[in-house]
Chains A and B, each alone.
Chain A
């Protein structure tokens, strides 16, 4: 056999940021516009601060926002957006209401007009709201049958206890009790431009796009009620929480660990430590429990950032009969990254991955829009990409080891396992203290 050698990489060119502009409008809305002209589209992302909004009405509001205004029916809104190749939808997370969508670039003005009509005149018509309410209840019922959702619900509760982040999906009975009037009141109270950020990315002239936004959204006014969320509490370790899901043919293993905010000086080192542990396919955790032992289709760990705090979350769905062994290997890998510096080549590989995926993420309009919008939600701008890239490039093995010891140690882990408790409890008890969840 002829041995062939792996070709070298051609070093990356310097990171270039796309042309952009920013303006804070008189009504308090910040508009950021970025030009990437590869396809004649424009991506739209609007984030409105929504922390501490009552969960059931806020969730239903996000689903019913586009059901009609004083002058347009739900059908009109959908059809007129479609006519310019557009689509808009709203979603809710614990910090904000987010409206996302896109349209043909020539349709930017019309899309923003329709958006403005909804922001200033959403009517929440009774019949449509009732329809959306029933649909939302049905969707929550389906979510409650999904192991990934149930495991997350249990983990959030375990991590955040009485903090507002502890419950992120409303109970069906709470949704059923929401009347249209409550949505109108919540909208009047909270769907306001103060503190909101609009990001436009695409085949646009940034300054002109902001002019269009100013013209169409200038009539949206008002200050939102303060919705600041207190900082998240430190994770309280304790027994592994076992959640019973009788008949499960897999166990959902979920672990929370402390993390750092995006702007913490050690964040780049934590990012790299997380990658080496379990944050990408070529991580120790995946190579161990998937590629060596075949316990799982996939495992993944990621730092999740909310406005009031960050956490590192690790997830794997594993075969029921190897639930204990999977936890053992996971604990072993956490202990290893927390006790020993990563290998040089291993760290370089993770570093190149982190730097490369930043570039891949900015190579599309949708990717840029998502990134700019997420960053803006934390008070950052796209130039943070340069700072974060420089920090990733500079982090040493010692720094990674030091931050991993503080954040990835198994003694810091909060662990939840969802599965067929009668089949897995003994496996888990052999390794750690276990507490069954109260149903």
Chain B
């Protein structure tokens, strides 16, 4: 075995400031490639949707691309792509992001486009009806027409949680989507899309002084609006195992997912971080504990994965959240047996601790994945924006490899000891295909 490898870190610079109107800004210059990434994140996500408006945060994300004060419908797409760039947006439990990656000479254009929709999107009946149709097709292609659609991110929360913000379907019901109105959209914008509730982040090839001037020019006159008070979404943990199953009419094979509550990702970061390493010790690659046991030795699962946060965004999620294990099984697979083996392996980890080299190699692989992520300009702009929004700490992105390498075997064992059958929620997929 090779001697222990040094865990490298990144040193991306981080500049932070706040405009007079309350917009927070993070800049991370890097001249190594002539491209820039621009991200704007708003502190509103699926958990903030009103009851009776499931899927609204995501529907609203679509509406933000449908024109704004100075831009016709379709103009946003054409201006970004016509500058040689790409764009997208996504809706998460705790935030909604909008982003572009472009050749460096298009930075000002991207800032203009983002500022214009921060001042006000064109919320029209025609655009709303069009995007309700588009979102319904998105749900059909990703959930209804596809085996294992929405598993487990839409299927496990209602088993795990009891309150509406945490338990409801973030893609939304067709009924709720169809009954959404322009007034709802305007109200949602007024409440949550305040510049005081947003972070702008730019990473890549630019000069800090010039970029700062451009940001002042384009965002400086966005009217000041403060952030709404963020509710606490916490709810009590499980007081016994919760287990449900459903039949997926087009899935050919069984599957199972289990979620375990973990410490507050922000308020208790030191206690949370070991769970992130634990998930990898359990499931990262053929040498990990659960893959080795369940896939290779027992052959009771075809594959198994483990991660934090329902959307895999482990450092961009607020409390409450979970460590998830998900597995697909061969024909006739027995979810109960799989879970019992997981319990056995967790018990073994708690009793015997980690094997020599096991923690170090897991940490090395985690560092490599973090580095690969930050090699992209958006792999810096986006997480830095969210880390600023949720923690006021965008530089945490640089510190993660080191912090992960400092997690100890004792912390892993302590974390593993909390993953008990009585503290988990389980959802099973019963294959309906061919029946």
> Residues of A at under 8 Å CB distance from B?
1, 3-13, 36-41, 66, 74-75, 77-87, 102-107, 110, 128, 131, 134-135, 138-139, 141-142, 144-147, 247-250, 280-282, 287, 290-298, 317-319, 348-349, 352-353, 355-357, 359-360, 362-366
* In the A-B complex, the 9 residue pairs with the closest CB atoms: A356-B84, A294-B133, A10-B105, A85-B368, A78-B286, A349-B82, A78-B287, A363-B33, A79-B287
Q: Can you list 15 residue pairs at the A/B interface with Cβ under 8 Å?
A: A7-B111, A11-B105, A40-B8, A41-B372, A75-B287, A82-B361, A85-B367, A104-B367, A145-B250, A146-B146, A250-B145, A294-B137, A317-B140, A353-B84, A363-B35
CB distance from A319 to the nearest CB of B (A): 6
Measured between beta carbons, the chain B residues less than 8 angstroms from A75 are: 286-287, 292, 296
CA distance in complex: A355, B34 (Å): 13
Check B103–A360 contact: CB distance below 8 A: yes
The 8 Å CB contact of B74, one of A9, A248, A282, A363, is: A282
B371 at the interface (CB under 8 A from A): yes
Measured between beta carbons, the chain A residues less than 8 angstroms from B365 are: 82, 85-87
Measured between beta carbons, the chain B residues less than 8 angstroms from A141 are: 252-253
A145-B286 contact, Cβ under 8 Å, with A104-B367, A104-B368: no
Closest residue of chain A to B132 (Cβ to Cβ) is A294
CB distance from B334 to the nearest CB of A (A): 15
Interface-side segment among B21-29, B154-162, B181-189, B373-381: B373-381
B138 at the interface (CB under 8 A from A): yes
A80-B1 contact, Cβ under 8 Å, with A87-B285, A348-B82, A352-B84: yes
Check B84–A7 contact: CB distance below 8 A: no
Measured between beta carbons, the chain A residues less than 8 angstroms from B85 are: 353, 356, 360
Check A291–B73 contact: CB distance below 8 A: yes
Check A12–B105 contact: CB distance below 8 A: yes
Check A144–B252 contact: CB distance below 8 A: yes
A294-B145 contact, Cβ under 8 Å, with A83-B5, A110-B2, A131-B295: no
A250-B112 contact, Cβ under 8 Å, with A145-B252, A147-B146: no
B101 at the interface (CB under 8 A from A): yes
A282-B78 contact, Cβ under 8 Å, with A83-B2, A141-B252: yes
CB distance from A423 to the nearest CB of B (A): 13
CA distance in complex: A248, B249 (Å): 11
Check A317–B105 contact: CB distance below 8 A: no
Closest residue of chain B to A40 (Cβ to Cβ) is B8
B393 at the interface (CB under 8 A from A): no
B102 at the interface (CB under 8 A from A): yes
Closest residue of chain B to A349 (Cβ to Cβ) is B82
List residues 312-327 of chain B with CB under 8 A from any CB of chain A. none
Interface centre among A128, A138, A293 (most CB of B within 10 A): A138
Check B137–A355 contact: CB distance below 8 A: no
Check B137–A280 contact: CB distance below 8 A: no
Check A349–B145 contact: CB distance below 8 A: no
CA distance in complex: A82, B78 (Å): 43
Check A39–B2 contact: CB distance below 8 A: no
CA distance in complex: A353, B1 (Å): 48
CA distance in complex: A37, B375 (Å): 10
Check A296–B364 contact: CB distance below 8 A: no
Closest residue of chain B to A320 (Cβ to Cβ) is B140
The 8 Å CB contact of A41, one of B141, B252, B303, B371, is: B371
Q: Mark B372-409, 1 if CB is under 8 A from A, else 0.
A: 10111100000000000000000000000000000000
Check B376–A359 contact: CB distance below 8 A: no
Closest residue of chain A to B133 (Cβ to Cβ) is A294
Interface centre among A12, A37, A282 (most CB of B within 10 A): A282
A135-B302 contact, Cβ under 8 Å, with A247-B250, A349-B81: yes
Measured between beta carbons, the chain A residues less than 8 angstroms from B345 are: none
A4-B70 contact, Cβ under 8 Å, with A10-B104, A104-B368: yes
A39-B81 contact, Cβ under 8 Å, with A12-B103, A83-B361: no
Measured between beta carbons, the chain B residues less than 8 angstroms from A298 are: 141
Check A106–B5 contact: CB distance below 8 A: yes
Measured between beta carbons, the chain B residues less than 8 angstroms from A38 are: 30, 32-33, 375
B43 at the interface (CB under 8 A from A): no
Check B35–A359 contact: CB distance below 8 A: yes
Measured between beta carbons, the chain A residues less than 8 angstroms from B302 are: 134-135, 138-139
Measured between beta carbons, the chain A residues less than 8 angstroms from B101 are: 360
A79-B357 contact, Cβ under 8 Å, with A146-B147, A359-B103: yes
CB distance from A390 to the nearest CB of B (A): 16
Check A366–B362 contact: CB distance below 8 A: no
CA distance in complex: A361, B48 (Å): 36
Check A74–B286 contact: CB distance below 8 A: yes
CA distance in complex: A130, B253 (Å): 19
Check A142–B82 contact: CB distance below 8 A: no
CB distance from A155 to the nearest CB of B (A): 17
Measured between beta carbons, the chain A residues less than 8 angstroms from B367 are: 85, 104
CB distance from A263 to the nearest CB of B (A): 23
B216 at the interface (CB under 8 A from A): no
CA distance in complex: A309, B69 (Å): 47
Check B69–A1 contact: CB distance below 8 A: yes
Interface centre among B106, B145, B249, B367 (most CB of A within 10 A): B145
CA distance in complex: A355, B35 (Å): 13
CA distance in complex: A86, B5 (Å): 11
CB distance from A144 to the nearest CB of B (A): 7
Interface centre among B131, B249, B250, B285 (most CB of A within 10 A): B285
> What would 5 more interface pairs be, CB under 8 Å, given A249-B140, A250-B140?
A38-B32, A139-B302, A281-B87, A293-B133, A294-B132
Measured between beta carbons, the chain A residues less than 8 angstroms from B133 are: 293-295, 319
Measured between beta carbons, the chain B residues less than 8 angstroms from A282 are: 74, 77-78, 81-82
B10 at the interface (CB under 8 A from A): yes
